[in-house]
């Protein structure tokens, strides 16, 4: 099986879970933060919604200059869901265009022109594009719990939802 096909199956499966979380974002709490050092709910949600597509675009390049990143804040649930839909489509199209040779090719991240990381493209996609989003998705589930929003099942039952019952 080509590397891209395996990644695309995961993107489809995990996208469903991310969608369920984003659908539960309370619009009246987008500026809420659990701590002064934390992203707001709207910032974290938008970071998740846009992340897969943005990181896929970075993976398509041979070298990527790490930008000075400022995270915007979503203004509505619709913005989050529309952003996520476009992000997922971009990621799937980008990943599908890569053969195994491209996947195993060296990908480099730079900061101020200096290499920060050089790894096979497939490793970047796995560790940064996918795992990075899952990490933030876990944070988002905690935000929802703290806001008393029912948390969907992610990899098994939550206290609010049991897909196996």
What domains are there in the chain, each with its CATH number?
3-146 (1.20.120.450)
Mean pLDDT of 20-45: 98
What end-to-end distance do the CA atoms of the chain give, in Å?
34
Model pTM? Answer: 0.94
Q: In the structure, what pLDDT confidence band is assigned to residue 165 with cuts at 50, 70 and 90?
A: confident
Instruction: Report the distance separating Cα 145 and Cα 163, nearest Å.
Output: 18
pLDDT tops 90 at residue 69: no
Count the neighbouring beta carbons within 10 Å of the beta carbon of residue 68: 5
Mean pLDDT of 64-74: 93
Task: List CB contacts of 11: < 8 A, sequence separation 6 or more.
Answer: 52, 88, 91, 92, 95, 130
65: its two tokens: 């200059």
Q: In the structure, what pLDDT confidence band is assigned to residue 65 with cuts at 50, 70 and 90?
A: very high
> Helical H runs in the chain?
3-23, 41-60, 77-96, 100-104, 121-124, 131-146
pLDDT of residue 153: 95
């Amino acid at each position: 099986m080509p590397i891209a096909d395996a990644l695309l199956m995961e993107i489809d499966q995990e996208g469903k879970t991310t969608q369920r979380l984003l659908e539960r974002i309370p619009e009246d709490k987008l500026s809420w933060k659990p701590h002064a050092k934390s992203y707001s709910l709207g910032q974290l949600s938008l970071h998740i919604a846009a992340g897969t597509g943005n990181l896929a675009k970075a993976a398509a390049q041979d070298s990527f200059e790490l930008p000075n990143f400022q995270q915007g804040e979503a203004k509505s649930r619709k913005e989050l869901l529309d952003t996520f839909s476009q992000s997922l489509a971009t990621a799937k199209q980008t990943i599908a265009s890569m053969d195994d040779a491209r996947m195993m090719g060296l990908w480099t991240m730079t900061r101020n022109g200096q290499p920060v990381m050089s790894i096979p493209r497939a490793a970047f996609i796995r560790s940064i594009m996918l795992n990075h989003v899952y990490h933030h998705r876990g944070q988002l589930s905690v935000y929802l719990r703290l806001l008393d929003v029912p948390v969907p099942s992610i990899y098994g039952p939550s206290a609010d939802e049991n897909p196996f019952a």
